[in-house]
Amino acid sequence: MKKTFKLDIPGKNRDRVLDATKHEIRKYVKRQRRVPLPEGVDFWDFDCRFGTTEENASEVHFATITGLIDGVAKEGGSSFYLELLAKEGHRTARPIGTGDAK
């Protein structure tokens, strides 16, 4: 998904547009995660870029997207660019001594 989302749409409530945008992003992620995994792949991961425009978008972690969207809305921004590209994810073992001690 490579898309510029507009938050200021004439005749629509800005808060509802913001909620609809977040819903569309969640729906896309859920749909991508349902795609069958190739052999040897553990999970679907996402490469993410976020910015006010496509030109100034920078790489961000997937878990921070909602907070970044809220930040743009709080600052009064009229739109933002989001790029989500699914990629294959492979789990790695934790180094000994970094896990929870039980």
Give the pLDDT mean for 59-81. Answer: 96
Inform me whether the pLDDT recorded for 100 exceeds 80.
no
Inform me whether the pLDDT recorded for 97 exceeds 90.
no
Per residue in 13-57, pLDDT (tens digit) is 999 999 999 999 999 999 999 999 999 899 999 999 999 999 999
Two tokens, residue 26: 């969640």
Inform me whether the pLDDT recorded for 86 exceeds 70.
yes
Contacts by 34-42, CB closer than 8 A, 24 or more apart: 35/86, 37/88, 38/88, 40/90, 41/88, 41/89, 41/90, 42/89, 42/90, 42/91
